[in-house]
Copies of this chain bind each other. A is one copy, B any other.
Amino acid sequence: MIQITVIQIDNYGPWTVTPNPRRENDLQALQSRLYEDLNLMFGMYGGLVFYTRFDNLIAITNGISLEVHKKIQESVRNRYPFTISMAIASAETPYEAQKLATKTLQEYGSAQDSNRREVLDVANELVNGYVQIAHIDINNVTGTFTDVYSAYDTYLKVNEVKLLLMKEFLKYEALLFFIGGDNFMAPSNGMNEEDYIKIFDNINKKLNLDLKAGVGIGKSAEEAANLADIGLEEIRGKRVDKNICILKNDKFFKEVLRKGKSCGL
């Protein structure tokens, strides 16, 4: 079970243009600050936040209590010109969890309902569960893109990869987010090695570039992300002979992967 929190700025659209459209520089600074803050605060309890649309963010929050959520909600209220609503849900797959969470939020009213403020609710239950994250990276993006093509052409290519990855992962009810550079993170509970390989083959055929992924399985998003990073370094260091390296925290999980062969075994 993965626990997902959907975060939404309350009635943000109208605020951005009241009484006059606000300076875009300020909105960009404000949104990226919120993203940063949420990552620092949830991160203190092992959570990980993705910026998504900036006004609607998705976080992995396994093991994080309602009380901690409340504190974060209050801290935003105390330091920002707006408030945020949050709904938490858990499910077997990340897609299902965020869907349940969104539904709970929607039941309280529209994102632009000026009476809906600081919702904090749980769709089903808070879980410890586990988190599986794939940290996906383009091989040699520096040599084949950054140093060769224009900044925007590389950016466009990264966006093509991103959209294709989003669609491929969705088939497995997994999510996919861009985390900067040539890197993506896919919360993907339940997927196995073959699943990732199949996706990367598809991308390779369509876009003619190679991907690799470290996959981590841990009790929190942070632990999973750390393990995924180590897996990626195993591949970079050629200590494994494929483009996927799955690592799990054995102290906490015995039987997680469907067909689980841990990297290097």
Residues of A at the B interface (CB closer than 8 Å) are 6, 8, 12-13, 17, 20-33, 35-37, 39-45, 48-49, 51-56, 58, 68, 71, 74-75, 77-81, 95, 98-99, 101-103, 106, 110-112, 135, 142-143, 146-156, 158-160, 162-163, 166-167, 170, 175, 179-182, 185, 222, 225-226, 229-230, 232-233, 236
Contact = CB atoms under 8 A, between A and B. Distances in A.
10 contacts: A23-B43, A25-B40, A25-B222, A28-B35, A33-B79, A44-B71, A53-B182, A80-B81, A98-B151, A102-B152
B24 A55 contact: no
B48 A25 contact: yes
Nearest to A95: B152
Contact of A54 (B24, B25, B55, B181): B181
Count of identical protomers in the assembly: 4
B21 A233 contact: yes
A229 B17 contact: yes
A249 to B, nearest CB: 15
Contact of A166 (B79, B81, B156): B156
Nearest to A231: B21
A142 B79 contact: no
Contacts of A147: 106, 110-111
Contact of A27 (B17, B51, B78, B149): B78
Among A27, A48, A162: residue with most chain B CB under 10 A: A27
B12 A151 contact: no
B232 A58 contact: no
Contacts of A180: 27-28, 31, 53-55
A53 B179 CA distance: 8
